């Protein structure tokens, strides 16, 4: 006999555009991720570029936002960040209730539009 799948545990939040065609390093407003344990980040470039995306978090809405780290398989810690030079969607797991996304322009010349979606995995 199969168990029951609890759909409420695998839900996704709304998609929100946090940056529209930015061309310089920018930090997002706070993103409410209460009830979710991961976030998808969709970065769409206007051309070839090099940007780094980093997750900062806080346990409370008005707390101090700090860089988030994840535990790697080898027992070391790694910054929740990703550098890319092409449009991609990527996932960060184990996030706090409140996050901000920092988009750092590593190479001048292209704009990026970023959407986020909190979810449970």
Domain boundaries 12-119, corresponding CATH code: 2.60.120.20
Confidence at residue 10, expressed as pLDDT on a 0 to 100 scale: 63
pLDDT by residue (tens digit) across 31-80?
Answer: 999 999 999 999 999 877 799 999 999 999 999 999 999 988 898 999 99
Specify the DSSP class assigned to residue 12. Answer: B
Q: Is the pTM here over 0.85, yes or no?
A: yes
User: What are the boundaries of each domain within the chain?
Assistant: 12-119
- Which residue, 88, 101, 105, is CA-closest to 33? 101
Six-digit token string for 47? 């051309």
Query: DSSP letters along 93-110, please?
Result: ES--SEEEEEEEEEETT-
Structure tokens, 31: 């993103």
Q: What is the mean pLDDT of residues 89-117?
A: 95
């Amino acid at each position: 006999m199969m168990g029951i799948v609890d759909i409420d545990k695998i839900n996704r939040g709304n998609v929100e555009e946090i940056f529209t065609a930015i061309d310089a390093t920018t930090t997002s407003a706070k993103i409410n991720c209460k009830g979710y344990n991961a976030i998808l980040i969709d970065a769409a470039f206007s051309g070839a570029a090099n940007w780094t995306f980093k997750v900062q978090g806080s346990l409370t809405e008005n707390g101090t936002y700090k860089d988030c780290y994840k535990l790697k398989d080898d027992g070391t810690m790694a910054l929740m960040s990703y550098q890319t030079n092409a449009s991609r969607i990527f996932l960060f797991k184990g996030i706090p209730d409140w996050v901000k996304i920092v988009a750092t322009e590593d190479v001048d010349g292209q704009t990026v539009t970023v959407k986020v979606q909190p979810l449970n995995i």
